[in-house]
Amino acid sequence: MDRISDFRSDTVTRPTEEMRKAMMTVEVGDDVFGDDPTVNRLESLAAEMLKKEEALFVPSGTMGNQIALRVLSDPGDEIILSDTSHIIQHEVGAAARLAGLQTRTLKTIRGRMDPDEVKKCIRGEDIHFPKTALICLENPHNDDGGVAVSPEYMKEIKAIAESEGLHVHLDGARIFNAALHLKLSAAELASYADTVMICLSKGLCSPVGSLLLGTKEHMKKARKIRKMLGGGMRQAGILAICGIIGLTKMIERLKEDHERASAFADFLSDIPGISLDRESVNTNMVYFHIKDNMRVIRTLEEQGILVIPHGDRVRVTFHNDVGDGDLERLKKAITDYTGKLL
Ligand SMILES: *Cc1c(COP(=O)(O)O)cnc(C)c1O
- Per-domain residue ranges for the chain? 5-12+253-341, 17-249
For residue 334, what pLDDT is reported? 96
| Cα distances (angstroms) measured from residue 285 to each of 7, 128, 230, 288, 312 | 9, 43, 32, 10, 16
Write out residues with Cβ below 6 Å of ligand 1.
60-62, 65, 86, 138, 142, 171, 173, 199, 201, 210
Q: How far is the CA of 217 from the centre of ligand 1 (A)?
A: 24
How would CATH label the architecture of 17-249? 3-Layer(aba) Sandwich (3.40)
| Amino acid making up residue 292 | D
CA torsion angle 185 186 190 195 (round to 10): -160
Pocket test for ligand 1, best of 142, 143, 199 (most atoms within 8 A of CB): 199
Q: What residues contact residue 310 under an 8 Å CB cut-off, 6+ apart?
A: 143, 287
End-to-end CA distance of the chain: 27
Q: Which atom of ligand 1 is nearest to the CA of 138?
A: 13
User: What is the DSSP code string of 294-311?
Assistant: HHHHHHHHHTTEE-EEET
Pocket test for ligand 1, best of 69, 90, 92, 169 (most atoms within 8 A of CB): 90
174 phi and psi, to 5 degrees? -120, 45
d(CA 46, CA 252): 16
d(CA 25, CA 53): 29
For residue 339, what pLDDT is reported? 86
Q: What is the pLDDT of residues 60-104, one digit of tens each?
A: 999 999 999 999 999 999 999 999 999 999 999 999 999 999 999
Q: Indicate the average pLDDT of the chain.
A: 97
Mean pLDDT across the stretch 274-284?
97
Residue 129, pLDDT above cutoff 80: yes
d(CA 9, CA 30): 32
Q: How far is the CA of 129 from the centre of ligand 1 (A)?
A: 31
| Cα distances (angstroms) measured from residue 113 to each of 86, 122, 130, 158, 324 | 14, 14, 21, 13, 35
The matching CATH number, chosen from 3.40.50.920, 1.20.120.1200, 3.90.1150.10, 3.40.50.300, for 5-12+253-341 is: 3.90.1150.10
Q: What is the pLDDT of residues 239-256, one digit of tens each?
A: 999 999 999 999 999 999
Q: What is the pLDDT of residues 139-192, one digit of tens each?
A: 999 999 999 999 999 999 999 999 999 999 999 999 999 999 999 999 999 999
